[in-house]
Every structure is written in C-alpha cells, then in structure tokens.
Structure 1
Amino acid sequence: MNGDNKFVEGISRVSGKIGSNKFILAIRDAFADTIPITITAALFLLINNVLLIPKTGILRNMPGHQIITNVGIQAYNGTFGILALSITFLIAARLAKSYGSRDGVTEGIVALASYVSLVPNTVKVLTLSGKSYSASGVLTQDYSSASGMLVAILTGIFATMIMTRLQKAKHLKIHMPDSVPPAVGNSFSSLFPAMITITIFAAIEGILNTTTGMNVSEIIIRVLQVPLVTGFQSLPGILFYVLLSTFVFTLGIHGADVFGSIAGPILLASLQQNIDAIHAGSAAPNIVTQPFLDAFVYMGGGGTLISLVIALLIFSKRPDEKAIVKLGGVPNLFNISEPLMFGLPIVFNITYAIPFCIAPLISTVVAYAATAFGWMHATYILIPWVTPPVLSGYLATGGDIRASIVQIVIIAINVALYIPFVLVSNHQYQTKMNQEK
C-alpha cells in the first residue's frame, strides 16, 4: 500500500512539473487566448460546410447564400487562416512575461517578425501554357494557418529566448534621456536585440534556401511533423495518447492542459489537411483530428463521462451521487466535467478511475474503426468543444447522421462498462452505512 502511495505521488510530481513548465504554460495559454477566433472560425466552417454545402445544405438555395459563403471564407481567412501567426505572437508574449518582461508585446512582435522572416515569401505559379511565374512578398496559408503550427511554436519559443537573453546585455541597450516617454525609451532599448534576433531567423532561411533549396518549414515538417502526424493517425499511437492524458485526470491533473500543448498542433495540422482535401474535392486523408477526439472520445469531458452520468442516473442508489449528478449533469451535456471529477469524485477514486481510463479507449477504437471502414465520414469541421454529444458528431463530419449513430453506440457501450462499477459503489456505500449502524 505504501508502495502504491509512492507511485501515485511520483506520477503526480512528474506530471505537476510538466504542467508547470514555463514553455508548456506559454503554449497552453497561447492556445487558450485564441479560443475567440477558433470558435468564430468553427462557426463559419459550420455555416459554409454544413448549412450551405451545395448538394445537401438546408440553406443552399437561400437568396444571398453566395454572399454568406464569401463572408464565411473571409472570416475563415482572418481567424483559422492566421492561427500560426497568432500563436507565434501569443507564445512569445506569454513566455517573455515568465522571463520578467513587463507586457511581452515587444517580444511578441519580434517573434512574429522572425517567423515571417523564416518562412518563404515567394510563390511559383504554373500557367496552363506551361510558363512559370513567381510572386514575391506573399505569405500563404501553408505557413500562416494551422499547417505551420509547429514552426510557429518553435519560433515563438526560440525567438523569445534569444531576445530576452540579448536584452540583458548592457552594451546592446540604447539609453534615452529621462524626458523621452517610457514606451519610446523601451522600444529603443530593445532595438539592437530585436535587430539581431530577426536577422538570425532571416539568415537561417536565406542560408538553407541557398544551400539546400529547401526552407526551414519543409525541413521541420519532413523531419518532425510528418512522423508525429503519422503516429497519431495509427490506432496504437492515438490509444497511447488517450490513455496517458486520461490517466493523469485521475490524479487531479488536467490531461488536456498538460499534453494538449504537444498534441494540439499535430491534431490541428491533421484537421487542416482534411479541410484542404475536402475543399479540393478529395477524400479526407486523416482519421484522427482535434474534433475527432472532442466529438467521439471526450463526450461529457474526459473519460467519456456522459456514459457514467447515464449509468448513475439509472443505477445509483447513493443520495450523494444523485445530488452531484443533478448539479453536474447539465454542464456535462456541454462537456464540462469538473463538477463530477471533483464531486463524485473521480480523482483518486479507484472504483471509478478504472472505467474512466478504459472508456475513452473503447470510444477511440469504435470511432476509429467506423471511420476507417467508411461507416461515417472523417472529421473536417472544427467544432467548439462545448458542442453536445450526438450533435457534435453530426457537425464535425459535415452533416453525416451516421456519426451521431456511432456516438450513441459509443455512449451505450460505455454505459454498460460503467454499470458494474456503479453497483460496486452502491455496495461500498451500503457497507459503510451498515457499519455505522
């Protein structure tokens, strides 16, 4: 028993250190800051790819539908289409504050400039006649959207580390008279560190392009991103990730916060590939995306917790559990699980921790198989994480009713999984009551 306690404490300590790491925190908070624009992007993706879809959308023949479509395209370009740029700035700003910066704005701007300096700005266009033209000064969504996420994250981190280190060098500071406004004085104080940082990233791009004919984005994608995306697209790979992120929940650690910073860019890149393929009239190449997990694995929150809620409502005889379900049941419909996680509790409760870890694995296998065998469409719509189950599957797959049926099947299977543990919990409660008598 003592050994078990040491094991739990060790895991908690390691996970806690990971979750409190300044780089992980900066990435996590940066993604949290983008929620308004990602949800806006999700709204317009839903409108354009569900309601206005040419063949089946219920609003496809509505007067003015083309105007709405164009508005949606522009809104997408201004939200999800610049996600990599936003993340670069936000990570740098957040990280700079942890290094002691007043507001992180200067470091964010420098990191953004470094990112744009690092990626190609020339596009080659091949005409029907076979002639090739080049357009310079162009930043495409290959680098500004989620497709460039890993490069953006690395740039945000390293540009800030370089910048903050140079800012500490006294001989690189320009000291202005006291009569100069503080904002202007701070800008001039950061002038040389900013110039050096941006030059480093521009030089990396220039040297690589000249010597290898490739840019840093292509190299990183080939070396790092593609294997990671491939790993997440395999069933063993995604099962391992789901198990790991779910297990730490039972220790009171938010798995999505700890590991989401690592998985988020990969899953968003996979989603972007699906979006691009669907828009091009091709089949979606990836099974696992962020909406895949949100819609099919995390229904009701971690542990496919909506199934436990149903099992408790039907089979629980404990008044304390009934009361918690009444309070937490409605938020749980919108995938908010904290009232149940800490109220039942799930945390450090072996009775419910076991099925809590198993249920998401079942959910992943069923949804993965349904997509792989063509029983439902792949996910390619970024849905808000608070979208209720059954509706979320329909929307995430672009209006495939079979996805909702798969969700119902997953919920039913996991209700059956949770029932024996609810009965065990009833027995434990009854035994305790008898002992107290």
Structure 2
Amino acid sequence: MENSKFVNVLNQVAYKINSYKYIIAIKNSFTLLLPIIITGAFATLFSNMVFDSTNGLAQISWLSWLETLKPLSQMVNYATMDMMALLAVFLIGNEMAKLNNLNGHFPGLLAAVSYIAVIPTTIEVLVEGAGNVSVADVVSSSYTGSSGLFLGMIVAIGSIELFTWLGKREVLNIKMPDSVPTNVARSFSALLPTLITIIAIAAIGFAINMVTGVHIYDIIYNVVQGPLESLVQGLPGILLLMLVAQLFWVIGIHGNQIIKPIREPILLAAIAENTSALEAGREIPNIISMPFWDMYMSMGGSGMTIGLLIALFIGSRRDDYRSIGKLATPPGLFNVNEPVIFGMPIMLNPIMAIPFVITPLITGVIGYFATVIGFAGRAVVMIPWTTPPLLSGWLATAGSWGAVVTQVVCIAVSVLVYLPFVRIANKEASVQEIEKEEFGEEVIGEPNMENQ
C-alpha cells in the first residue's frame, strides 16, 4: 500500500510537470529544432573530415579539390548552429501560441523580434593598430547561438504571454469594416498588442542596462544558464539527472521526458559549443554533451539495455526470455528499447530495476574518465539518438577510435552488471512456475475429495 501511494504521488508530480504549458512548449520546440542542429553538426563533420586539407580527405593530392567546398559547410554551420537561440525563440513562440489558442506563425515572428530587441547590437572588434573598435548594428553569434538559449526561452514565453493577454483587451483591438479582407483585419487587430509587446520587452532590457550597467543577456547567462551548465555538464550533475530519469522509468513514467526541459537546452548548447570550437580550430571545451549521454549512458536505450539483451542470450535458457531478447535486439541496435522494457518487464520489477538504474551511472563514469585522460575524444558532432552503438561513438567524436573502444568497454560492463540479475530473474520465474503447478494440482484434486 505504501509503495502504491508513493508511485501514485510520483505519477501525479510527473503529470503536472508534463502538462505545464511552458514545459510542453520547450520540449516540443527542441524536438523540432533537433534536425537543424544535426544538420549543422554534420556540416562541421564534413568540413573537418572531408573538406579540410590538413586533417580531412582533401589532404590527399587527387582529392585536394574538396577544399574548395569547405565554405559551403561553413555556411550551413553558421545558418544552423550559430542561429540556434534565434530558431529556438521562433519555435517556442509558435508552440506557446498553439497552447494559448493563437493561430498562424506570427507569434513566432513576434517572439524572435522581441528577442532581437533586448540583445546588444554593438560589438567590440580588435583591429590591428587601432585597438578595440565598436561596430554598431551587428548581432554577435554569441547571442544568436547556444549561449543565448535561456534568455531566448524567457523572452519567447514572456512576449507571447503578454501578447495573448493584450489581445484579449477589447480596447486594444482595432475593428475594421466587414468589407476588409480577413487577413488585413487580423493584422490590424494585432497591431496594438504587437506594438506594446515589442516596446515593453525592449524597455525592460533597456531599463536593466541603464540601472545595472550590464545587458540582460549577461545577467541571465551568469545567474541562470552558467550555473546550470556547470552543474549538468559536471559528472555529479549528469549522474544525478540520469538517476532521476531512471527512477521515473522504473515506476512507469517516461524518465527522459521528465528531465528533457533541463537536459536539452544545456546539453545541446554544450555540443553546439564543441562544434563551433572544432570549426574554428579551438580546443574542444565540453566533455559532457548530448552525444555523451547517448554514447555512454543509453546505448540500446535508457538503462544501457544493450547489456541486458546480451545478458539474456548468455545467462538465460528460458524460451520466453530468449524470445524477448530476439524480438528486442533489432530495435535495440537503434536504441529503441520499449520491447525489452515492457517485455521483461523492467517497470515495477525490483529485480531488473536495480541494474537498470545503476548501469548507466557506471558507464557514464567510465566514459567521463576515458575522455578526461584523453583516451576517448570529446563529442563534437550532434548525431541522431537512433545511431547504432560504436558507429555513434565514431561519428560523434569525428573519428576517435578511443571513443569506440570506450563504448565496447561500457557494453561489456553493462553485460556484467545485468548478468547476475538475469540469473536471479530466471530462478524467480522458475520458482513461480513450480508454485503455480503445485497450486493448480491442489485445486484440481479438491473436487475429487468432495465427490468421494
């Protein structure tokens, strides 16, 4: 009873989190943004592994012509990775509009304009012989790229909420005659709410800058985004995030969806920084990023269940378990593990829950220290989460065989962790079958005794 109450409480908490409209808007937006990020990441991969004359295929004499295509990949990278925050603002604005029952894509445009209104448009450029020179009417990629994500999310949500509230004020709606086309009438109806929203957001940014002497971007980054990045991009933080996700999985709740609003902005920003650093020839800054999670902590799916699949074939002679393994292996190679999660089952199963929770924590530690010592390369390319193990390590790190070997080690460790629990589950299932058979015989025998 106590366990049931606890599970029900957690279910209610998860439901409230997932039904909160700001959480929904952020999750949906980053899901939509993922193909853009992956496109930019692969542009960088081609730039360095194919078009580069120092490290790529272009260093081969008869393929040297490939270097002429390098600007193409840089253009794609700039349009995707360096515009991540601006694109996220537009998408969040659209998602908020849907949740607020607003039609069309105008709210996304309004959110993007509001964001541009609060970020600095003057940058300092170091010019040889002249020192620092201020250049006006320029938007730095520091604000449109991953570093601006948290300010962008706040502005997108705030601007659409304000616009929605203003739109419901009858006094602000400009009424047009019935003869005016619907689109024109709608534009005039939104005119005053749009005007007030953009001016209000810009005024907030201006007032903060005047009072504090710093831009709102710097405040949000230093107070919110920076500390969160330090926490989640550190080993304790990422392990805690994984632990929370796994515990929710065990009680029947999609753990990744619960942590997604925290995980996605930070870990996607981390891989975006790594990709930009690779493109610019700088040192790769971040060990933990979104591909790190996929490469070392969720091969085969949440819980590193690729190890469980192998353990089923090694440690179980039960036909039902081996059938589950055969059924779950093809999708498991692409990190889809619902068949094994529901087939074993793992949810609400105290035996299988233990390795399911602890295995990704162990492999995460292995992947982290393999990267720290330089054995495995740092992830620099955002890859689809369905990329098969080993191939994922090679692609995400732009060709680090150390990362591939580390994945092999993580898989081996996951098998060793799961194996004893598979054997325990075998014995438990066998005992239950024997008890059922004995119980069934007793039930059959009772009527015969009564008949006599």
TM range (shorter): over 0.9
User: Does residue 198 of structure 1 match 2:198?
Assistant: yes
Larger mean Cα displacement after TM superposition, 275-284 or 317-326: 275-284
Equivalent position SS for 2:303: helix
The equivalent of 2:44 in structure 1 is 45
Task: Report the Cα offset of residue 282 of structure 1.
Answer: 3.5
Closer/same/farther in 2, CA of residues 436 and 373 from structure 1, 3 Å limit: same
The amino acid that maps onto 1:305 is: T
Is 1:255 the equivalent of 2:231? no
Deviation (angstroms), 1:431? 1.8
Give the Å deviation of 1:58: 3.9
**C-alpha offsets along residues 114-153 of structure 1, whole Å, 9 cap, x if unaligned?**
0011111122222110344333222222111222111111
Structure 1 CA distance, aligned partners of 2:394 and 2:59? 18
Q: Does 1:12 align with 2:8?
A: no
**Taking structure 1 as reference, are residues 178 and 86 closer, same or farther at Cα in structure 2, changes over 3 Å only?**
same
- Distance in 1 (CA, whole Å) between partners of 2:329 and 2:50 is 30
CA distance in 2, matches of 1:345, 1:368: 30
CA RMSD of aligned residues (A): 1.8
Cα separation, 1, equivalents of 2:168 and 2:386? 44
Which structure: larger Rg? 2
| Residue of structure 2 equivalent to 1:273 | 273
Equivalent runs, 1:120-159 vs 2, <5 Å: 120-159=120-159
Q: CA 1:401 to 1:10, structure 2 compared with 1: closer, same or farther past 3 Å?
A: same
1:372-411 mapped onto 2 (5 Å cutoff): 372-411=372-411
| Cα distance in 2 between the residues matched to 1:278 and 1:51 | 14
Q: Report if aligned partners of 1:16, 1:253 keep a CA contact under 8 Å in 2.
A: no
Aligned to 1:67: 68
Q: Which runs of 5+ in 1 are unaligned?
A: none
Q: Deviations over 1:318-342 (max 9, x none)?
A: 3233223222211111111222222
Q: Does structure 1 retain, via aligned residues, the 8 Å contact 2:126–2:133?
A: yes
Q: Could you tell me whether the CA contact under 8 Å between 1:42 and 1:384 is conserved in 2?
A: no
Query: Could you tell me the TM-score, scaled by structure 1's length?
Result: 0.94
Structure 1 residue 171: Cα displacement: 0.4
Partner of residue 365, structure 1 = 365
> Does the residue aligned with 1:194 lie in a helix, a strand or coil?
helix
Cα gap change, 1:284 to 1:231, in 2 (>3 Å): same
Describe how 1:113-124 pairs up with structure 2 within 5 A. 113-124=113-124
Paired position in structure 1 for 2:349: 349
Alignment check: 8 A CA contact 1:147 1:272 kept? no
Amino acid at match of 2:150: L
Structure 2 vs 1, CA of residues 353 and 369 (structure 1 numbering), >3 Å: closer, same or farther? same
- Alignment deviations for residues 97-127 of structure 1 (CA, whole Å, 9 cap, x no partner): 2122234x22211111100111111222221
Contact 2:52 2:67 (C-alpha < 8 Å) held by counterparts: no
Q: Which deviates further from its counterpart, 312-321 or 378-387?
A: 312-321
Deviates more, 1:360-369 or 1:119-128: 119-128
Mapped partners of 2:329, 2:427: distance in 1: 23
Structure 1 residue 288 displacement after superposition: 1.0
SS in 1 for 2:248: helix
- The structural deviation recorded for 1:59 is 4.9
- Indicate the SS of the match to 1:64: helix
The alignment partner of 1:79 has SS state of helix
Corresponding residue for residue 225 of structure 2? 225
Q: Shift in Å at residue 409 of structure 1?
A: 0.5
Residue 76 (structure 2) pairs with residue 81 (structure 1): no
State how far apart, in whole Å, the 1-side matches of 2:325 and 2:182 are: 54
User: 2-side partners of 1:10 and 1:235: how far apart?
Assistant: 29
Q: What is the aligned partner in structure 2 of residue 57 from structure 1?
A: 56
> What CA deviation, in whole Å up to 9, does each residue of 1:17-61 have, x standing for no partner?
111211111111111112331222232122123344544434543
Q: Check 1:112–1:243 CA distance in 2 against 1; reply closer, same or farther (3 A cut).
A: same
Q: Which is worse superposed, 357-366 or 228-237? A: 228-237
